[in-house]
């Protein structure tokens, strides 16, 4: 299969089950909502070492938020419910409670309930007060700029992590340009995040290492500088490979994001040095979700 001269490999991305939640952060203006959201989703690129994977999903108009202020929706993914709840509580306490003018609300109503403001309220040292609206409780915690408003819980649902595709190009600037247009297109798809910096990872990994202390190491088959030293997957003209990793709430969400991302990357075409689209997998041993590239792009 070729799209605009770009070869779509007959391979698949391999993904695994996760747990996820969404939160809504509002503030006096969009800039301060972003400050809080970026802090909360920082150091959350991979569960390999970060404990969770997180990212900003999209900006929200005042008409879309519970308190009628500008906001940002952010999503957090983890391998299990206990880990997700701990990551959410720690990040919310250190990065949203602390941010000027911020408020924090549930972004998912279904699924199992996990604490949002339920424990953060204790920062109020007994001066916090609660208010119930419908079936949900809110906490008002006194802070030095006024008060921190936080919904008591948010929903946790099954999710998928590790959807991905690789962009193989003739040069580093060309690979990065294709990644940039792909990520911009994928940001328009709801229910997904690209957790790595700018949505792109240049250090794609394989399972295992010759060093016993590491459970993941460089994907040498796709490293251009190792063509003569390993069993390479790269033809001579490929000099740069970059990966986009996608976490999503459902199989369909990830498929849609992959499709628009690959379409955007291929829009640059072979004429601009984009030669192949491939994917990272471990022969089906890592996870039960298989995203076949040619099937998605058919």
- pLDDT of 129 > 90? The answer is yes
Q: State the fold for domain 2-14+160-297.
A: Alpha-Beta Plaits (3.30.70)
From residue 156, alpha-carbon distances to 10, 70, 104, 108, 132 in Å are 34, 24, 16, 7, 21
For range 120-143, the mean pLDDT: 95
Helices 251-268 and 172-186: crossing angle in degrees, nearest 10, is 140
Q: Is residue 160's pLDDT more than 80?
A: yes
On the question of pLDDT at 156 being above 90, the answer is yes
Residue 200: predicted pLDDT: 98
CATH of domain 19-157: 3.30.70.520
Which residue shows structure tokens 């309220």?
Answer: 121
Greatest Cα-to-Cα distance within the chain, rounded to the nearest angstrom: 67
* 199, 165, 84, 19: CA torsion to nearest 10: 140
Enumerate the H helices of 193-241 as residue ranges: none
The whole-number average pLDDT for the span 25-48 is 97
Query: Which sign does the torsion angle of CA 159, 161, 167, 172 carry?
Result: positive
Count CB neighbours of 187 within 10 A: 20
228-256 pLDDT tens trace: 999 999 999 999 999 999 999 999 999 99
Q: Give 59's DSSP letter.
A: E
Tell me the sheet residues that pair with 163.
246
Domain boundaries for CATH 3.30.70.520 within the chain:
2-14+160-297, 19-157
Task: Name the band, by pLDDT with cuts 50, 70 and 90, for residue 153.
Answer: very high
Provide φ and ψ at 108, rounded to 5°. -135, 125
Kindly provide the b/e burial profile for residues 38-54, where b requires at least 16 CB atoms within 10 angstroms of the residue's own CB: ebbbeebbbbeeebbbb
255 contacts 291 by C-beta, under 8 angstroms: yes
pLDDT at 133: 86
Please report which confidence band the pLDDT of residue 282 belongs to, taking 50, 70 and 90 as the band edges: confident
Show the tokens assigned to 147.
């008060």
pLDDT computed for residue 134 by the predictor: 82
Please give the pLDDT value at position 33: 98
The residue among 93, 76, 90 whose CA lies nearest residue 21 is 76
Percentage of the chain with pLDDT > 70?
A: 100
Handedness of CA 74, 80, 82, 83 (dihedral sign): negative
Tokens 């007959």 sit at which residue?
Answer: 10
DSSP letter at 21 equals E
- Looking at the predicted structure, is the pLDDT value of residue 4 above 90? yes
DSSP 231: -
Q: Are 180 and 28 in contact (CB under 8 A)?
A: no
CA 63 to chain centre: 25
* Residue 92 CA from chain centroid, whole number: 17
Gyration radius of the chain over CA positions: 21
Q: By the 8 A CB rule, do 60 and 70 touch?
A: yes
pLDDT of residue 199: 97
What span, in angstroms and rounded, lies between the C-alpha atoms of 222 and 16? 22
Report the mean per-residue pLDDT for the chain.
96
Question: What confidence tens digit (pLDDT) does each residue in 179-215 have?
Answer: 999 999 999 999 999 999 999 999 999 888 999 999 8
pTM across the whole model: 0.94
């Amino acid at each position: 299969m070729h799209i605009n001269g770009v070869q779509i490999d007959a391979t698949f991305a391999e993904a695994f089950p996760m747990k996820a939640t969404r939160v809504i952060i509002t503030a006096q203006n969009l800039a301060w909502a972003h400050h809080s959201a970026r802090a909360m989703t920082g150091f959350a690129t991979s569960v390999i070492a970060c404990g969770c994977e997180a990212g900003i999903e999209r900006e929200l108009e005042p008409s879309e938020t519970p308190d009628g202020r500008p906001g940002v929706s952010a999503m957090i993914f983890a391998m299990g419910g206990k880990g997700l709840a701990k990551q959410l509580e720690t990040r919310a306490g250190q990065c949203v409670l602390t941010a000027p003018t911020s408020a924090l609300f549930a972004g998912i109503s279904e699924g199992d309930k996990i604490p949002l403001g339920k424990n953060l309220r204790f920062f109020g040292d007994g001066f916090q007060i609660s208010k119930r609206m419908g079936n949900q409780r809110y906490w008002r915690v006194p802070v030095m700029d006024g008060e921190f408003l936080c919904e008591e819980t948010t929903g946790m649902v099954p999710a998928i992590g590790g959807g991905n595709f690789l962009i193989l190009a003739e040069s580093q600037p060309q690979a990065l340009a294709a990644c940039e247009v792909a990520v911009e297109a994928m940001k328009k798809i709801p229910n997904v995040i690209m957790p790595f910096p700018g949505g792109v990872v240049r250090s794609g990994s394989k399972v295992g290492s010759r060093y016993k202390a590491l459970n993941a190491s460089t994907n040498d088959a796709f490293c251009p500088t190792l063509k003569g030293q390993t069993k390479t997957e790269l033809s001579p003209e490929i000099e740069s490979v970059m990966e986009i990793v996608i976490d999503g709430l459902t199989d369909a969400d990830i498929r849609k994001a992959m499709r628009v991302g690959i379409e955007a990357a291929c829009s640059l075409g072979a004429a601009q040095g984009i030669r192949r689209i491939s994917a990272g997998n471990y022969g089906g041993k890592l996870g039960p979700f298989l995203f076949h590239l040619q099937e998605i792009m058919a």
